């Protein structure tokens, strides 16, 4: 099987695909709002430190172990610990987690697609009506958008690694960047934008608390697509001649750069809409910002650029968000697809059909959990709250298991695969890495501070989410 495994056609192809995975909804909206609320420039500095000191080593570990094993995450854990009963549990987690994250991410992406279509067809006024989002998520059209999205993802993934994933990233990522810059330039021509820029950039260290630090770390970890098996899988398609270190640095820089630039679009837009807004009042959730607040901002632009102009800005923004979300969704769905191809010797098409149908079913369950079906709407009760099926998936897989997966990857690479082998893989295509300061830092941090912090976040989240007990 290993011989017939596809690989990315070029180094830039790998970089764009990995950056496509990393740049997602979290970058465009989650990051800017988090930064504005939590100390502006001070948050940016902490975030950047986490990206390079904390996330980059984990990224190197995931890509290197994947390239070495040339397998999906489960196969990777199994091949490094063939006789163990415990290690494969990590492999299963690294497979189930992306599967379940893909389920809820598909629902959000499908909403973005719906808003893109609606704003492009002249319905911005409706989108901006308070309470519309609640109606939208409960309408039967949700299933139509889900089907459209499934078709698009299926089309990309059925074409394979080079002709599907790589080609889609090569088209969408440059377009994403151009659209983003275009929107920033446009937003900066609005009134009152300086207030937003100040909130975003001027450091306020008094806002930095232990929770903010934890938030910055989680945001960085999620943003770089770590703990989801994606980089193990993409690493398994990477050419042995290419430098993992150099490519990873570019991906981390691109991801952070897009998040930073997105702030120059979102915050000035918010403050231009309402110069007196207090960022603390902005919603915690990216979801309500994207689907409730931003449409109101776009509509308000009709006073200066007319309804058509406002609709055009809204459509452009949703297109940007759709590209970002689609390349992330493709990357995460490739994980279970690769697993079926590796383990069941399925063809890519068969694997896609199996993963696609079960995933559509799970996403449909999420859709009906917003009120259509009572059983899934009040699916569970914990932490003193009633939770829908959609909430449960987010709480368990995104909030809780993700740091545990990160912890397990650090353990696998440092203590099972062993550092010497890890170093050797990173030296391929990068002879300068040997003996470098970075090498020493990566080795030490991956077996000490990084896994310890990830384990701590995991335990803290479990205690808080499910038992209502807060350590920090
Ligand atoms: N990095 C993505 C983001 O910021 C996270 C993600 C990747 C989510 C892949 C799902 C799939 O949104």
With a 6 A CB cut-off, is 26 part of the ligand 1 pocket?
yes
Instruction: Tell me what pLDDT residue 2 has.
Output: 44
Q: How confident is the model at residue 362 (pLDDT cuts 50, 70, 90)?
A: very high
How many angstroms is it from 436 CA to the middle of ligand 1?
Answer: 31
Q: Which residues contact 174 (CB under 8 A, 6 or more apart)?
A: none
How many angstroms is it from 37 CA to the middle of ligand 1?
Answer: 22
Indicate which atom in ligand 1 lies nearest the CA of residue 230: 9
With a 6 A CB cut-off, is 335 part of the ligand 1 pocket?
no
CA-to-CA distance for 104 and 97, rounded, in angstroms? 11
DSSP H helices in 41-166: 41-49, 56-69, 73-80, 87-120, 124-127, 132-138, 141-158, 160
Q: Which residues contact 95 (CB under 8 A, 6 or more apart)?
A: 72, 73, 74, 229, 335, 336, 339
How many angstroms is it from 83 CA to the middle of ligand 1?
Answer: 33
With a 6 A CB cut-off, is 22 part of the ligand 1 pocket?
yes
Task: Please report how many Cα atoms fall inside a 13 Å half-sphere around the Cα of residue 387, on the Cβ side.
Answer: 16
Residues in the chain: 472
Separation of first and last alpha carbons in the chain: 48
Name the CA radius of gyration of the chain, rounded: 22
How many angstroms is it from 427 CA to the middle of ligand 1?
Answer: 28
Indicate which atom in ligand 1 lies nearest the CA of residue 331: 9
Instruction: Tell me what pLDDT residue 472 has.
Output: 77
How many angstroms is it from 189 CA to the middle of ligand 1?
Answer: 30
With a 6 A CB cut-off, is 222 part of the ligand 1 pocket?
yes
Does position 248 have pLDDT exceeding 60, yes or no?
Answer: yes
CA-to-CA distance for 348 and 446, rounded, in angstroms? 34
CA-to-CA distance for 69 and 6, rounded, in angstroms? 14
Taking each helix axis from N to C terminus, what angle separates 73-80 and 56-69, rounded to the nearest 10 degrees? 80
Backbone angles phi, psi at 381, to 5 degrees: -140, 120
Residue nearest to atom 12 of ligand 1 (CA): 24
Q: How confident is the model at residue 469 (pLDDT cuts 50, 70, 90)?
A: confident
Q: Which helix (H) or strand (E) holds 380?
A: strand 380-382
Does position 201 have pLDDT exceeding 60, yes or no?
Answer: yes
- The pLDDT tens digits of the residues spanning 80-106 come to 999 998 999 999 999 999 999 999 999
How many angstroms is it from 26 CA to the middle of ligand 1?
Answer: 7
Does position 175 have pLDDT exceeding 80, yes or no?
Answer: yes
Dihedral sign computed on CA atoms, order 434, 454, 395, 264: negative
Q: How confident is the model at residue 321 (pLDDT cuts 50, 70, 90)?
A: very high
CA-to-CA distance for 169 and 173, rounded, in angstroms? 5
With a 6 A CB cut-off, is 321 part of the ligand 1 pocket?
no
Percent of the chain whose pLDDT exceeds 90: 90
Q: Average the pLDDT over 127-156 and give the result.
A: 97
With a 6 A CB cut-off, is 263 part of the ligand 1 pocket?
no
With a 6 A CB cut-off, is 397 part of the ligand 1 pocket?
no
Q: Which residues contact 109 (CB under 8 A, 6 or more apart)?
A: 149, 322, 325, 326, 329
Indicate which atom in ligand 1 lies nearest the CA of residue 26: 4
Please, what is the average pLDDT of the chain? 95
Q: Which residues contact 27 (CB under 8 A, 6 or more apart)?
A: 223, 255, 258, 259, 262, 324
User: Which of 22, 47, 102 has most ligand 1 atoms within 8 Å of its beta carbon, as the pocket-test mutant?
Assistant: 22
Indicate which atom in ligand 1 lies nearest the CA of residue 329: 11
């Amino acid at each position: 099987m290993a011989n017939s495994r596809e690989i990315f056609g070029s180094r830039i192809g790998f970089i764009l695909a990995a950056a496509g995975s990393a740049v997602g909804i979290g970058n465009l909206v989650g990051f800017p709002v988090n930064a504005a609320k939590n100390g502006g420039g001070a948050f940016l500095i902490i975030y950047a430190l986490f990206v390079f000191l904390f996330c980059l080593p984990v990224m190197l570990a995931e890509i290197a172990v994947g390239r070495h094993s040339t397998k999906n995450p489960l196969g990777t854990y199994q091949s490094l610990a063939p006789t163990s009963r415990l290690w494969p549990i990590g492999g299963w987690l690294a497979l189930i987690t992306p599967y379940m994250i893909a389920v809820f991410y598909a629902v959000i992406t499908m909403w973005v697609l719906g808003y893109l279509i609606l704003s492009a067809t002249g319905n911005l006024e409706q989108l901006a009506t308070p309470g519309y989002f609640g109606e939208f998520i409960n309408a039967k059209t949700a299933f139509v958008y889900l089907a459209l999205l499934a078709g698009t993802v299926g089309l990309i993934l059925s074409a394979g690694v080079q002709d599907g994933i790589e080609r889609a990233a090569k088209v969408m990522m440059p377009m994403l960047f151009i659209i983003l810059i275009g929107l920033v330039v446009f937003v900066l021509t609005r009134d009152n934008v300086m207030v937003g820029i100040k909130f975003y950039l001027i450091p306020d260290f008094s806002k930095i608390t232990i929770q903010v630090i934890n938030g910055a770390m989680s945001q960085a970890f999620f943003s770089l697509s770590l703990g989801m098996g994606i980089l193990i899988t993409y690493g398994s398609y990477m050419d042995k001649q290419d430098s993992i270190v150099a490519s990873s640095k570019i991906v981390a820089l691109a991801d952070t750069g897009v998040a930073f630039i997105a702030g120059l679009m979102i915050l000035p837009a918010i403050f231009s809409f309402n110069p007196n807004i207090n960022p603390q009042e902005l919603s915690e959730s990216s979801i309500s910002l994207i689907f409730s607040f931003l449409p109101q901002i776009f509509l308000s632009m009709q006073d200066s650029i007319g309804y058509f102009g406002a609709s055009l800005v809204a459509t452009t923004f949703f297109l940007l968000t759709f590209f970002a979300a689609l390349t992330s969704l493709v990357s995460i769905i490739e994980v279970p697809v690769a697993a079926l191809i590796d383990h069941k010797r399925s063809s890519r098409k068969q694997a896609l059909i199996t993963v696609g149908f079960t995933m559509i079913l799970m996403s449909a369950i999420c859709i009906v959990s917003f009120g259509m079906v009572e059983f899934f709407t009040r699916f569970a009760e914990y932490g003193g709250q009633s939770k829908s099926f959609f909430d449960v998936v987010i709480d368990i897989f995104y909030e809780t298991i993700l740091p545990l997966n990160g912890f397990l990857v650090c353990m696998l690479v440092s203590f099972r695969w062993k550092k010497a082998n890890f170093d050797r893989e990173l030296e391929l295509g990068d002879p300068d890495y040997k003996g470098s300061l970075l090498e020493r830092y990566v080795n030490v941090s991956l077996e000490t501070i990084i896994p310890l912090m990830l384990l701590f976040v995991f335990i803290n989240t479990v205690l808080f989410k499910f038992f209502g007990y807060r350590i920090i």
